[in-house]
Amino acid sequence: MLDTIFICFDLIDDRRLASRVLYPLKEILFCLIIGNLCNTNDLEDIVYLCKEKLEFLRKYLPYKNGIASVATFQRVLEVIDYKHFSNLLTAIIADYSEQLSDILAIDGKSIRGSGESKSDIVHLVSAYSCENGLVVAQEKVGDKTNEIKAIPDLLRKLNLKGTVTTIDAMGCQKDIVKQIVAQKGDYFIGLKGNQGSLYEDVKLFFQEKNKEVQSDSHNNTDFGHGRIEERCCTATSDIKWLQENHPDWYNLKTIVEVRSKVTNKKTKKESLETRYYITSLPADAAKNLHISRAHWAIENNVHWCLDVIWREDAQQIKNKNAATNLATTRKIAYNLLKINEEKIPLKRKRLKATLNEEFLNKLLTMKN
């Protein structure tokens, strides 16, 4: 794994004047990975940690001039091409991503501390392998655009053959659906009012469904966190009428309704929610319900961890290029920690990496 990381680092263009460089790019990037594997989050703490672990770091790289200053780290993050650097996510775990045949969840997240206002902050769209629990790709949303523009670029980085790509309603776009199928994948996409008559037609169909329509249903119930959640999924491929009215939705085979009722055990208060989906998969209600739930893994397993464990939103890096590059190092560290099979929480793995250099070395030298 470490050899792969160093090879990828060598591919990153160092835009600094070579004659004035005291701290090689590879050494700075390696410090960032180490800091995010360990229990440090902001640049000041990462630099401090690496100074304390200098002898450990010298087992891997020379560090002839020691550890660079925080200002140097900041400048390097500002000048690295964020597109090339983001591609490291895919390259470093290429051996894992080539084996994917599961659900890929696509979703976006903002880095709140990267700008003074909502319109200034960095927004990243990531692809998450639900089966392997890894972030397999990342794309920055361009200024004055939205996720719709970034998702096609993200998908082009991925081998979608044999996978199901799931996206929320923001990604419910005809061109995105067509691209997924063209890349030999299947899609399962949330549907809301942004697609006008398609949403209304699907909603009306399930509300007024007659008994002659062939459909499949599946129910399940979860108990936990002080609540009871009951779900009912209904799926049908008997949608010739919909395909005729909306022919531009490429390879649309099935529409899905998921109704959920959540009951608070203590207060007995109930909340109801109904969601609709379109998919290129057959009408298999149990599988369709599983995919609808799997999509939220990127929220619960990645975005939550970045916010709570790495304190991503608290990082005050106002340069967008720097904020994007630092986010990439967090996701690389996230993947390395997830690949490690020790059954302890990520937060504790980071603490263990800080205190136990043998464990830290193990994280870096894992075999693909």
Indicate the residue among 272, 288, 304 that finishes a domain. Answer: 288
- Structural domain that includes position 51: 2-89+319-364
- Between CA 112 and CA 123 the distance in angstroms is 9
Collapse the DSSP code of 115 into the 3-class scheme (helix H, G, I; strand E, B; otherwise coil) and give the result: coil
- Between CA 318 and CA 315 the distance in angstroms is 9
What pLDDT is recorded for position 99? 55
Q: Is residue 129 part of a domain?
A: no
What is the b/e burial string over 179-203, where b = at least 16 CB atoms within 10 angstroms of the residue's CB?
Answer: bbbeeebbbbbbbeeebeebbebbb
Number of folded domains that form the chain: 2
Indicate the residue among 239, 272, 288 that finishes a domain. Answer: 288
Contact 7, 30 (CB under 8 A): no
The Cα diameter of the chain in Å comes to 77
What pLDDT is recorded for position 300? 87
Q: What is the pLDDT of residues 81-122, one digit of tens each?
A: 999 899 888 888 776 655 555 899 999 998 987 877 777 789
pTM: 0.90
Q: State the alpha helices, DSSP H only, in 295-319.
A: 297, 304-308
Both 262 and 351 in one domain: the answer is no
What pLDDT is recorded for position 98? 58
Both 208 and 253 in one domain: the answer is yes
Which parts of the chain register pLDDT below 50?
Answer: none
Cα of first residue to Cα of last residue in the chain, in angstroms, is 6
Q: Is residue 276 part of a domain?
A: yes
What pLDDT is recorded for position 306? 93
Both 262 and 190 in one domain: the answer is yes
Q: What is the pLDDT of residues 340-365, one digit of tens each?
A: 989 999 999 999 999 999 999 999 98
Q: Is residue 156 part of a domain?
A: no
What pLDDT is recorded for position 95? 66
- Between CA 276 and CA 292 the distance in angstroms is 10
Both 268 and 191 in one domain: the answer is yes
Q: Is residue 237 part of a domain?
A: yes
Both 351 and 269 in one domain: the answer is no
Indicate the residue among 288, 310, 339 that finishes a domain. Answer: 288
Both 196 and 280 in one domain: the answer is yes
DSSP state, 248?
A: T
